Structure 1
């Protein structure tokens, strides 16, 4: 490993953290704007899925973990998002 590697990793983590903050602010702004509808719900679930993927792969350091661990955690995340989407869709008038 080169001496610059930890600095690059720290910079990447910081940028990802800032992206997560921006995504959180975006979803908060959409929610406070009282926007609704299936397209908005799909957008919010997509943002949540993207945020969860970043957390699992980068902050939990599973990007280089065995494939089974990534499948389990990302599959769980996809299942939860799908069930929330299904509940929203079933509850629509």
Structure 2
């Protein structure tokens, strides 16, 4: 059986999801909130997952640059706002 790029991306997305879940559940099991480092790690994983989904599954990798920049810029703005309001405040 040959693995394609989509298979590799699916495996990376699954691993990133498991890592995010592990970080969140570790804090929840102890009855605590995520620390700043763990929160930033979860947001970084979300950024990677969002970029992979947008570029490969939504096929923006071959789309015009304007569409790629718009979608990835939106993702960056949303995650930056979440980082500011989730970590700082």
Give the TM-score band, short-chain normalised.
0.7 to 0.9
> Hey, what does 1:69 align to over in structure 2?
67
| Whole-angstrom CA distance in 1 between matches of 2:88 and 2:34 | 15
Within 5 Å, give how 1:1-80 maps onto structure 2: 11-34=4-27, 36-80=34-78
| Whole-angstrom CA distance in 2 between matches of 1:51 and 1:19 | 8
2:5 alignment partner, SS class: helix
| Whole-angstrom CA distance in 2 between matches of 1:40 and 1:69 | 31
Residue ranges of structure 1 left out of the alignment (5+ in a row): 1-7
What's the TM-score once normalised by structure 1's chain length?
0.83
What's the TM-score once normalised by structure 2's chain length?
0.86
Find runs of 4+ consecutive structure 1 residues off by over 4 angstroms. Answer: none
Query: How many residue pairs align between the two structures?
Result: 84
| Whole-angstrom CA distance in 1 between matches of 2:50 and 2:68 | 12
Deviation at 1:89, TM superposition (A): 2.8
Q: CA RMSD for the aligned pairs? A: 1.8
Larger radius of gyration: 1
